Amino acid sequence: MINKMPATAKTPEVNIDNQNGKIELSGVIIPENPMIFFGQLELIIEECKLSSEKLNFDFKLDYFNTGAARYLYDMFKKLKDHPKCNVNWYYEPDDEDIYESGIEFQQLSGLNFSFIKK
C-alpha cells in the first residue's frame, strides 16, 4: 500500500510504499520540536520493516535545521544495523550544503549512501 504524509511549512512530504520498503522524503525539515516528526517517521520505518525485508530511502531534502540534524543522525545510526538498507541522498549540483551533510551523516553513522544529482 502506498501512503503519503503531506508536507507542512516545516516538515517534508513523506511517500511510503510499505510493500517495497520504500520511503521518500522531499522538502524541508525545520520543526522547532523535531521529536514529533521523527517519532512519526520511526513508526513508518517500523511498519515498513514488517512488510518488506528491504528498506530503501530517498532523501530529497532542500534544507533541515540543526535540531533535525541530530534526529537524522540518530535515525541513520539505528538503520546501520539493518542488513538491507539503502539510502539515496539527492542534491542539487550547486547545493554544497546538502551534499556535504550527506557525506557527514555517512561518515558519522557508518551507513553507506548513494549520492544522486537532481
Partner 1 sequence: MIKSLDKSVIEIVLNKRDDFDNFRYKLEIAFSQICNKTKKKLLIIATELIQNNIIHNNSNPCKLKIFNKDRFLILEMAQTTDKNKIEIIKKIINSINCLDENSLKEKYRNNIINCQGNNVGNGLILCRLKSENPIMLSFKRCTDADRYQLRITIKITNYDK
Query: Is residue 114 at the binding interface for partner 1, with CB under 8 A as the rule?
Result: no
Which residues have a Cβ under 8 Å from the Cβ of 87 and sit 6 or more positions away? Answer: 57, 59, 76, 79, 111, 112, 113, 114
70 contributes a contact to partner 1 by CB under 8 A: yes
Residue placing its CB nearer to partner 1 in the complex, 100 or 114: 100
Instruction: Check residue 99 for interaction with partner 1 (CB under 8 A).
Output: no
Q: 14 near 25, Cβ under 8 Å? A: yes
Is 93 near partner 1 (CB under 8 A)?
no
Residue 15 in contact with residue 4, Cβ under 8 Å? yes
Q: CA geometry: angle at 44 spanning 55 and 62, to 5°?
A: 80
To partner 1, the closest distance from the beta carbon of 25 in angstroms equals 16
Confirm or reject binding of residue 95 to partner 1 (CB under 8 A). yes
Indicate which single residue of 14, 30, 55, 87 sits in contact with partner 1 (rule: CB under 8 A): 30
Integer Cα distance of 98 and 55 in angstroms: 22
Where does this chain bind partner 1 (CB under 8 A)?
A: 9-10, 28, 30, 32-35, 63, 65-67, 69-70, 73, 94-95, 97, 104, 108
